[in-house]
Amino acid sequence: MIRNGVKEMISKKMENMVANSSAIRAMFEEGNRLAKIYGAENVYDFSLGNPNVPAPEAVKKAMIDILNEEDPIVLHGYTNSNAGYEDVRQAVADSLNERFGTSFAAKNITMTVGAAGGLNVILKALLNPGDEVVVFAPYFGEYRSYTNNYDGVIVEISPDTATFQPKLDEFREKLSPKTKAVIVNTPNNPTGVVYSEETIKKLAAIMEEKQKEFGTEIYLISDEPYRELAYDGVEVPYLTKYYDNTIVGYSYSKSLSLPGERIGYLVIPDEVCDSEKLNAAANVATRILGFVNAPTLQQKVVKACLNEQTDISYYDRNREALYNGLKELGFECIKPEGAFYLFVKSPVADEKKFCNAAKKHNILLVPGSSFGCPGYVRMAYCVAYETIVNSLPKFKELAEEYK
């Protein structure tokens, strides 16, 4: 098609998505460019949430054992169900039941291509064009694209920059008869905040109230790639206990340091309205979105490693060093309770200018506007401890520019 004398090669929707492509990836690529010029050890890249702690040794052993022992035709073939191997799904359900006192079965689990794949599957299964998906700023920016994939509409709840807990009064006001889903992410990317049990109970009560008022079903989608990354003994509530229409999306990207293997799952409990149809829809959505089934080798690996965890003491040491170091230099930030991100207030209103100033010191930060929260920057501290220690003198130089 030719418009205004210009030949259009890609869809209009994709044209907009390309134009607004991830600032996180852009910064990561900038880090690679600077590393070639100055040396990787002289670039302080806090852009990408890519785990720097290796997967547990049991993961490597499981992969080798499975490859040596399983019939390769079966192992590398399609699964009987698009939802994944039944024995893997049952093992996941049993593990959850033991940990959280739930009563899931294999039928409630759909193995997914990571948490991102899982969110796309469930939004494909739920959304009609124009349906609203509510998110709490700051939030993972890809939620916009995932919702737009199915012609849904994102509705943002503005951030409470004092606590970064959800603004529940505004939440109540913005729910509407068009609201189909609410996405929560706790521990949160980008703040590291864990939503308290009190917050979850209040949020659930509001959703129950609005379901009755509108005569509709509103689904709570809990995006949980950081569940196991919680510090100082903080408890992360398991949301299916608080609200019947809860769906959980999980990834092993962080808990087992396997982001590139793309393996996770959805939980659709029996308590969810029309759960049988929704589970069937998730199964079909897995196929028609082109995933077909989650990676078969990785399904077997996670079954063998359900009780394994990444050693988060590495992240905890980084958290303390970075948080305390930046606070001493006068930067404002809330101490994260989970995940591996620090959300820092920019010393100037336009945080993109601050990111550009930091870049001159070879410090790479992600602007908060990417997360629906301008005026802040995100730092991923899943980096070498030495990177944090060596970056602090550079942050001191940066801080001097704003005094």
Least confident of 25-39, 159-173, 176-190, 345-359: 25-39
Structural domain boundaries of the chain?
13-55+310-401, 57-304
3-state secondary structure of 98: helix
Which residues lie across from 179 on neighbouring strands? Answer: 132
User: pLDDT tens across 260-275, in order?
Assistant: 999 999 999 999 999 9
Residue 6 has pLDDT above 60, yes or no: no
Q: What b-and-e string marks burial along 37-61, b requiring 16 or more CB atoms within 10 Å of the CB?
A: eeeeeebbbbbbbbbbbebbeebee
Provide the 8-state DSSP code for 54.
Answer: P
Distance CA 250, CA 264 (A): 5
Q: Is there a contact between 286 and 292 (Cβ–Cβ < 8 Å)?
A: yes
Place of tokens 């995933």: 291
Q: What is the mean pLDDT of residues 390-395?
A: 97
User: pLDDT tens across 67-100, in order?
Assistant: 999 999 999 999 999 999 999 999 999 999 999 9
Q: Is there a contact between 107 and 266 (Cβ–Cβ < 8 Å)?
A: no
User: pLDDT tens across 319-344, in order?
Assistant: 999 999 999 999 999 999 999 999 99
Q: Locate 379 and state its tokens.
A: 């730092």
CB atoms within 10 A of CB 128: 10
Distance CA 392, CA 76 (A): 47
User: pLDDT tens across 106-149, in order?
Assistant: 999 999 999 999 999 999 999 999 999 999 999 999 999 999 99
pLDDT of residue 354: 97
User: pLDDT tens across 28-51, in order?
Assistant: 677 778 778 877 788 999 999 999
pLDDT of residue 345: 98
pLDDT of residue 31: 73
| % of the chain with per-residue pLDDT over 70 | 96
Residue 203 sits at φ, ψ, to 5 deg, of: -60, -45
- Confidence bin at 18 (pLDDT 50/70/90): confident
Cα 364–chain centre separation: 20
Kindly report each contact of residues 277-283 with a partner whose C-beta sits within 8 Å and lies 24 or more positions away, as own/partner.
Answer: 278/125, 278/126, 278/247, 279/83, 279/107, 279/108, 279/110, 281/124, 281/125, 282/83, 282/110, 282/121, 282/122, 282/125, 283/81, 283/82, 283/83, 283/110
Q: What is the dihedral of CA 370, 366, 315, 186, to 10 degrees?
A: -10
Q: Top-level CATH class of 13-55+310-401?
A: alpha beta
Which residues lie across from 134 on neighbouring strands? Answer: 155, 182
Chain mean pLDDT for the chain: 95
> Does the pTM exceed 0.85?
yes
> What angle do the packed helices 275-288 and 114-126 form, to 10 degrees?
120
Distance CA 378, CA 346 (A): 10
Q: Is there a contact between 235 and 345 (Cβ–Cβ < 8 Å)?
A: no
Q: Is there a contact between 402 and 348 (Cβ–Cβ < 8 Å)?
A: yes
Cα 167–chain centre separation: 20
Residue 369 has pLDDT above 70, yes or no: yes
- Helices (runs of H) and strands (runs of E) counted in the chain: 14, 14
Q: Top-level CATH class of 57-304?
A: alpha beta
For residue 291, which of 255, 264, 253, 252 has the smallest C-alpha distance? Answer: 264
